[in-house]
Structure 1
């Protein structure tokens, strides 16, 4: 019986490489539906990463690639590009090197995307994983179930952030191909991708915890340019204009 495949993409650079074993441990603990398997596409972002030193060499599901330093958004897209070589995977799932999947996360994503063809992508509840090992959630998650196309965009227009966490994304491969992967920005490229997916198809929110999102000083979200200043303004502008352009292209199809 042929397997069905979900590809996980993981960019890695700098100190986060030492956290790969924890990400891997959370991945091997996933229980998948019968007939399904995963592949892990780890992408070294620049020279000197040496991800292989932190991962078992005898797991054929792990594939390590290298690309010139371009930042995590570019590395994610390069990992996604490697999934296109075989063309086997149906779904693309995000897993950053410093994060951990919660038990059942992959099975829930696969279940929804196989049962509901109109749903193009999923997200889930995330907990911040603090340096002391404790976890913290946040209020404001949507209700479990369908996120109608355009609902994330409506929330983002008011708050300049999404109400669901893009680090928990799992999406159909063909939708990812339409969008070309992640926006090549120094940060927020995953938000741009999320808003693109929200334009193209309904989503789904799992109210079960799907990800432990590690908080640490080396995150790009800790950079002073991340949430203010000219770079932030430019990132928000291109994300907004990109989404508006996609929505304008989709409008005639929906009205027809």
Structure 2
């Protein structure tokens, strides 16, 4: 029986147009022997028919819909329908370069004590060019538990890109999925993972992160104001509680 990596993708109306490109990038992935992928698309505030018919027709694709709850809720509902032992994040408007999934799988198979991976990310600009996203990438290799959270706590910016996460499903289940935040739910998950288990930074680019006006990070409340302060407070409380539990385990 094949082993499965589950790709989790929330989508709202502004990003549906980008799904075909994400699908093409998934079809181009070559996985290690004995592995297969499934794609869990969750339409936030819509239904299955919002997804193009040719994508829905693929037996590896499983589409669901829900009343609007935001990206954290949609991600968690998609994960709830998954069957894989690894869970890979893929936003609807992003693209996986060739080899991305294979590197995630091989890293986690070769390092059983590692709970999650992130990787180098390239921003996909509106003109089609690629630019290196970085806040100062760490050296490829292990990320010691608590290292990323310490950086975030002093800057409120993640050192690595949370949109590139691949996670052992058992670890994600312990956390309980994504926090129900209007944004930054991927950062919240990264901080929770970081205080619970060692991670691994993959030096090869494993994500093309599309920049466009309709993305959540373009909203004026994303980087300041009362909502931002509440999001940061929720992320901190969650991570601190998990860190305390795991430091005494």
Quote the residue 1:117 is aligned against. 112
Superposed displacement of residue 54, structure 1: 5.2
Q: Which moved more, 1:184-193 or 1:49-58?
A: 49-58
How large is the RMSD of aligned CA atoms in angstroms?
A: 1.2
**Corresponding residue number in structure 2 for 1:132:** 127
Contact 1:23 1:97 in 2 (8 A): yes
CA distance in 1, matches of 2:26, 2:14: 20
Deviation, structure 1 residue 55: 3.6
Name the counterpart of 1:107: 102
What TM-score does the superposition give when structure 2 sets the normalisation length? Answer: 0.97
Q: Helix, strand or coil: the match of 2:115? A: strand
Aligned to 1:166: 162
TM-score scaled by length of structure 1: 0.94
> For 1:45-81, what per-residue CA distance to the aligned partner results, in whole angstroms no more than 9, with x for missing partners?
0126734325434420001011111111110100000
1:46 paired with 2:45, answer yes
Contact preservation (8 Å) 1:20, 1:55: no
What CA distance in whole angstroms lies between the structure 2 residues aligned with 1:166 and 1:149? 16
State which of 191, 196, 202 in structure 2 corresponds to 1:200: 196
Question: What is the distance in 1 between the residues matched to 2:73 and 2:184?
Answer: 12
Show structure 1 runs of 5+ residues with no match. none
Which blocks of at least 5 consecutive residues in structure 2 are unaligned?
none
**Secondary structure of 1:149's match?**
coil
Equivalent runs, 1:212-223 vs 2, <5 Å = 212-223=208-219
Alpha-carbon distance, 1:129 to partner: 0.6
Residue 240 and residue 78 in structure 1: after superposition, are their counterparts in 2 closer, same or farther (change >3 A)?
same
Say if 1:13 and 1:49, in contact at 8 Å, map to a contact too: no
